[in-house]
Structures are given as C-alpha cells and as structure tokens.
C-alpha cells in the first residue's frame, strides 16, 4: 500500500491513495511550512543530515538582516560555511515565515500571564 502526499494548502493537506483523495486538517501549519522548506532544500541537493545546520545559518542571516533578498543572501552563505547552495526566493520566504512564527510563539509564551502563580510579595 502506497500513499502519496499530493497537495498542501495552509492547514489542509490532501493525500492520494489509488483513486481516492483524502483531506486531513493539519494541527500545525507552520510544521507543514518547515516540511516544505526541508523538501525544497533536499531537492537542491543538501544532505538531509546537514539541513538543520543550513537552516541555523540561514536563520542567523535573516535575523541579522531581516529585509535581505535572495540575491543578497546567496553570496553571504559561503561566509557561513555554505558554498554550494543558492538561496532562492521561495526558500527565503518560507524560512522567514517559519522564523516569524517561532518568534511570535516565543513572545506569546513570555507575555502570557501565569495563572495560579504568585509573586514573591503576593
């Protein structure tokens, strides 16, 4: 039995099996974006074992220059140890979206009041 993922839009994924198409609501659309980014990087020839390190370097570059364009990012990657990978527009946009979502999630956790906990002077 073979199942192929055939399409993904936002939080909705579809899977094809034989002559049926199944739709599955994804719990975490940002995880879907990460998977799309990983697939794109694999298709560019990056060894799957090296993708986390590549994403860390790309995240560092995006954090230091939030408005960077792909044409500017690609020449800077060799200084971060990535000589052979061209950063295209889609990879950069997906990486920025993932970074923004992670930042928003972290900020939401920090800003959320802790119910039931009292401070030292309470």
Residue 53 covered by a domain: yes
Q: Which two tokens stand for residue 36?
A: 């799309």
Which residue did the predictor score with more confidence, 113 or 59?
59
Residue 41 covered by a domain: yes
The DSSP symbol for 87 reads: -
CB atoms near residue 10 (< 10 Å): 10
Please state the pTM of the whole predicted model: 0.62
DSSP string, 25-73: E-S-HHHHHHHHHHHHHHHTT--GGGHHHHHHHHHHHHHH-TT--HHHH
Mean pLDDT computed over 80-99: 88
Residue 13 covered by a domain: no
Task: Tell me if 85 sits within 8 A of 44, measured CB to CB.
Answer: yes
Structure confidence at residue 120 (pLDDT):
52
Residue 1 covered by a domain: no
Give residue 51's pLDDT band: very low, low, confident or very high (50, 70, 90): very high
Residue 87 covered by a domain: yes
Residue 56 covered by a domain: yes
* Residues 15-36 pLDDT 10s: 444 454 444 444 566 677 888 8
Mean pLDDT computed over 30-56: 89
Residue 82 covered by a domain: yes
Structural domain count of the chain: 1
């Amino acid at each position: 039995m073979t199942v192929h993922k055939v399409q993904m839009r936002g939080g909705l994924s579809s899977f094809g099996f034989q002559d049926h198409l199944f739709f599955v609501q994804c719990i975490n659309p940002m995880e879907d974006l990460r998977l799309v980014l990983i697939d794109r990087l694999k298709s560019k020839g990056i060894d799957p074992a090296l993708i986390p390190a590549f994403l860390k370097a790309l995240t560092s570059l995006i954090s230091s220059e939030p408005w960077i364009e792909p044409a500017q990012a690609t020449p800077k990657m060799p200084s971060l140890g990535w000589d052979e990978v061209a950063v295209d527009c889609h990879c950069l946009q997906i990486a920025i979206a993932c970074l923004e979502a992670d930042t928003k999630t972290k900020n939401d956790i920090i800003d959320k009041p802790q119910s039931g906990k009292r401070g030292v002077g309470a």
